[in-house]
Amino acid sequence: MTIFSRRALLGASLAAPLAAPRLASAQGQTIRIVVPFGPGGSTDAVARLVSPGLTQRLGATVVVENRSGAAGSIGADIVAKARPDGLTWLLTFDSHSTIPALLRNPPLDVLKDLDPVMLIGGSPYAVATRPDKPFRTMADVVAAAKARPDGVSYGSTGNGTIGHLSMIRLGEAAGARMTHVPYRSGGLAVNDAVAGHVDMMIGSAALMLPHIAGGSLRPLLQFGPQRLSRLAQTQTAAEAGFPGLEAEAWWAVFAPHGTPPAMVTRMNAALRESLSEERAKTVMTETQQARLILSSPEECGSFFRQQVATWGGLVRAANIQPD
């Protein structure tokens, strides 16, 4: 399941202006946006939302290529090993920051082999369950997990994602043990949550809001600093008794190391214009309740280094292993 409607995607592409500069070497060629996860999740949807605008602005056909596996490192490595010619880019998720700590022998150095382009934005994590499950609040989940240690399961978009780490922190704070079921994409995780194969799941609000709105999932908790307008009846972690427990999924774009700065600057401008176009912006900020940042390459790099240090430390402390 994709999280953006075909109508929203089409409207965003038709309304996009043609003002951004073009990548001269890419004109008439095909540009790949590699998503290191399977289709149907939030990262895939962000890439498909922005690709029509990039096609118009860069003077080249932009295609999204899903290359999942190994906590996103397979797709990231494909981009790291690509020629730095402006034809291959990575649009990835928060787990990108935990690759160095999660994998014993990662195929790439995420800090050296890829150049930051843009931090697109983020969306608070949320926990949701199928409506016929016996949980109305996170307190119900904690009580069940204490009564049956490891008897309550939750899915996530993979080992070492910020969502997975947040559930570990929540379990430790609550004194409750839950069983983690990792998936290779948000689409697979939410499908199994809707089908009832796991008791609940944690994912970005952007991923789960359509299913919550449609009634196939019921929200239990959100990890933002305040309640989202579309989850106005759902407690934050702080309100539920877990102060300081905040977590936000994020999406960012990277290029092969050595990509000429002019190409990075132009891609940054094309991304900024595509996501600032009114329809695309509405899909992101209102429909999906995401926070757009649209950073500079330098800001993206600074943010990413901080994420590697913060969440990588938690991966090591919890001794998390790859999927």
What pLDDT is stored for residue 1 in this prediction? 34
Give the burial string for 253-290 (b: 16+ CB within 10 Å, else e).
Answer: bbbbeebeeebbebbbbbbbbbbebebbbebbeebbbb
Residue at 242 is within a domain = no
Residues 151 and 223 in one domain: yes
Do 142 and 283 lie in one domain? The reply is no
Structure tokens given for 111? 């800090």
94 and 129: one domain? no
Domain boundary residue, one of 173, 199, 231: 231
Is 42 in the same domain as 65?
yes
Task: State the residue range of the domain holding 38.
Answer: 6-122+250-318
Amino acid at 298: E
Residues 114 and 43 in one domain: yes
Tell me how far apart the alpha carbons of residues 49 and 233 are, in angstroms, rounded to a whole number: 29
* Encoded tokens for 274: 């595509």
In a domain, 243, yes or no: no
CATH number at residue 291: 3.40.190.150
Fill in the DSSP letter of residue 283. Answer: I
Q: Is residue 77 part of a domain?
A: yes
In a domain, 196, yes or no: yes
pLDDT of 122: 94
| Residue 2 pLDDT | 36
The structural domain count of the chain equals 2
E strands present in 164-214: 179-182, 200-204
- Tell me the one-letter amino acid at 268: N
Do 49 and 101 reside in the same domain of the chain? Answer: yes
Residue 4: name the closest of 69, 49, 57, 68 by CA: 49
Residue 136 sits in a domain of what CATH number? 3.40.190.10
Q: What pLDDT is stored for residue 27 in this prediction?
A: 61
Q: Are residues 100 and 12 in the same domain?
A: yes
Does residue 245 lie in a domain region?
no
Q: For residues 199 and 305, state if they share a domain.
A: no
Regarding whether 181 and 111 lie in a shared domain, the answer is: no
Whether residue 163 is found in the same domain as residue 269: no
Please say which residue of 231, 260, 294 terminates a domain: 231
The domain boundary residue, chosen from 231, 265, 293: 231
C-alpha–C-alpha distance, residues 323 and 320, integer Å: 9
- The tens-digit pLDDT sequence of the chain (323 residues) is 333 443 343 344 444 443 444 554 556 689 999 999 999 889 999 999 999 999 999 999 999 999 998 889 999 999 999 999 999 999 999 999 999 999 999 999 999 999 999 999 999 999 999 999 999 999 999 999 999 999 999 999 888 889 999 999 999 999 999 999 999 888 899 999 999 999 999 999 999 999 999 999 999 999 999 999 999 999 999 999 999 999 999 999 999 999 999 999 999 999 999 999 999 999 999 888 899 999 999 999 999 999 999 999 999 998 888 76
Residue 28 lies in a domain: yes
State which amino acid sits at residue 196: G
**What is the spatial distance between Cα 5 and Cα 298, in angstroms, rounded to a whole number?**
33
Q: Is residue 294 part of a domain?
A: yes
Work out whether strand 218-222 and strand 114-129 pair parallel, antiparallel, or are unpaired. Answer: antiparallel
In a domain, 244, yes or no: no
How far apart are the C-alpha atoms of 281 and 132, rounded to whole Å?
34
Q: Tell me: do 155 and 261 sit in the same domain.
A: no
CA 5 to mean position of chain CA atoms: 18
Residue 116 shares a structural domain with residue 130: no
